[in-house]
């Protein structure tokens, strides 16, 4: 009898944990949406030719979506003949399926934008024109669709919707923009509206939101045209806003949260700042501003008390002190671009196609390995990602997996 009960308990625990972990969603820029990946044992130097290419796929079509991994699979999207396609690969590069989901952005800088989000048996893709798709993970078939413009009164901005939706539990968050439904939470199982927040009644701003927990309170932070806004993720009530305009209302960088403080930044010389949240998260105060850290769309990472990222107007790679906002160094050794980190190392993919590994320290910009991405097409703008010892770089029509462990 005891053996039976023990077996039953183990079975129940296995079912519970399997169900629980199956629902953990992927995020743009890593598990915590901050550009940090939990890999270890990575190479600390590269050959002169760069890391070995494990595999590549050269028929994605047009697009800027990153690759994202879930379990032993890798996903991304691309556009061919103005139609968006979802791609699923095995970790060793075998194409499992290619499924069309609908029209994609075909006006300026053609192609897909946001990265797919995988949550259990469903995949979510926000297309450039505005439809949000929920697809079956097994075969890519449509489960439901909502249009941010037609269904929520949003307005498609100049270069289309670029954000990656955020999934948490049974909610999916996105930013239609506009005076009524600026930010919304939908039921991720059927697309029904849970709450709507007018925020500052502005257009969206190409920003993937950050969902974080502050003293037990879930807060959604995102940029709209001229403000960074903080919203109670359970109720949809706007808690605070911080003025952050720039020349073209482009705020493509996800903020970074750490220990009750929030770093935000955008390009065209606008720069960055750090906010300190009140204990209950209902208000913020400005700690500092740094105009030189003005990445347009390359993101930044926080490591050991320092922020690393590239400028836009100055085009330099920056290291700034998280506590004070003071510059530690600036370097022109690489062109500006996107940065992620893992195992104490920075991985940089520049707009000129440079792929580099840099030591993360606050003293100097030390390149440990450097190569060029020659496969693929058009702009070098997609953010890289890391999984299973592989560095995934998407360059237009190509997805490349580099061995970095």
For 98, which DSSP code? E
For 234, which DSSP code? T
List the one residue out of 201, 209, 198 whose CA is nearest residue 164.
Answer: 209
pLDDT tens per residue across span 113-141: 999 999 999 999 999 999 999 999 999 99
Query: pTM of the prediction?
Result: 0.94
Tell me the domains of the chain and their CATH numbers. 27-61+295-405 (2.40.128.630)
Provide the pLDDT for residue 236.
98
* 327-345 per-residue burial string, b: 16 or more CB within 10 A, e: under 16: ebbbeeebebbbbbbbbeb
Instruction: Give, for all 405 residues of the chain, the pLDDT tens digit.
Output: 433 333 334 334 333 333 333 468 999 999 999 999 999 999 999 999 999 999 999 999 999 999 999 999 999 999 999 999 999 999 999 999 999 999 999 999 999 999 999 999 999 999 999 999 999 999 999 999 999 999 999 999 999 999 999 999 999 999 999 999 999 999 999 999 999 999 999 999 999 999 999 999 999 999 999 999 999 999 999 999 999 999 999 999 999 999 999 999 999 999 999 999 999 999 999 999 999 999 999 999 999 999 999 999 989 999 999 999 999 999 999 999 999 999 999 999 999 999 999 999 999 999 999 999 999 999 999 999 999 999 999 999 999 999 999
Q: Are 145 and 179 in contact (CB under 8 A)?
A: no
Provide the pLDDT for residue 21.
36
Q: Are 257 and 212 in contact (CB under 8 A)?
A: yes
Provide the pLDDT for residue 23.
63
CA distance 375 to 369: 18
CA distance 359 to 383: 19
pLDDT tens per residue across span 289-331: 999 999 999 999 999 999 999 999 989 999 999 999 999 999 9
């Amino acid at each position: 009898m005891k053996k039976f009960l023990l077996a039953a308990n183990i079975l129940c625990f296995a079912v519970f944990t399997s169900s629980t972990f199956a629902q953990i969603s992927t995020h743009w820029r890593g598990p915590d949406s901050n550009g940090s990946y939990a890999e270890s044992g990575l190479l600390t130097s590269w050959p002169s030719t760069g890391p070995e290419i494990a595999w590549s796929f050269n028929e994605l079509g047009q697009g800027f979506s990153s690759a994202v991994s879930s379990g032993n699979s890798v996903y991304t999207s691309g556009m061919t003949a103005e139609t968006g396609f979802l791609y699923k690969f095995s970790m060793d590069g075998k194409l499992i399926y290619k499924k069309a989901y609908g029209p994609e952005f075909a006006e300026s800088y053609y192609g897909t934008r946001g990265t797919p989000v995988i949550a259990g048996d469903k995949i979510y893709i926000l297309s450039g024109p505005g439809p949000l798709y929920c697809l079956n993970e097994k075969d890519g078939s449509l489960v439901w669709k909502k249009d941010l413009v037609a269904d929520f009164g949003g307005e498609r901005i100049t270069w289309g919707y670029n954000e990656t939706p955020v999934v948490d539990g049974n909610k999916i968050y996105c930013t239609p923009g506009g005076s009524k439904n600026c930010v919304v939470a939908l039921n991720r199982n059927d697309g029904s509206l849970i709450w709507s927040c007018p925020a500052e009644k502005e257009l969206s701003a190409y920003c993937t939101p950050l969902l974080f927990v502050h003293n037990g309170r879930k807060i959604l932070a995102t940029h709209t045209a001229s403000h960074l806004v903080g919203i109670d993720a359970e109720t949809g009530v706007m808690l605070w806003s911080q003025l952050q305009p720039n020349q073209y209302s482009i705020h493509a960088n996800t903020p970074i949260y750490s220990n009750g403080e929030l770093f935000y930044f955008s390009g065209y010389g606008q720069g960055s700042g750090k906010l300190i949240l009140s204990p209950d998260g209902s208000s913020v105060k400005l700690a500092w501003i740094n105009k030189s850290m003005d990445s347009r769309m390359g993101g930044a990472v926080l490591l050991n008390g320092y922020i690393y990222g590239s400028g836009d107007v100055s085009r330099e790679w920056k290291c700034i002190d998280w506590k004070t906002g003071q510059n530690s160094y600036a370097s022109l050794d690489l062109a500006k671009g996107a940065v992620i980190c893992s195992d104490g190392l920075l991985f940089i993919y520049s707009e000129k196609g440079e792929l580099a590994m840099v030591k993360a320290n606050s003293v100097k910009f030390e390149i440990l390995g450097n190569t060029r991405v020659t496969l693929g097409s058009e702009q070098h703008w997609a953010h890289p990602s890391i999984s299973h010892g592989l560095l995934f770089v998407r360059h237009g029509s190509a997805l490349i997996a580099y061995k970095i462990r």
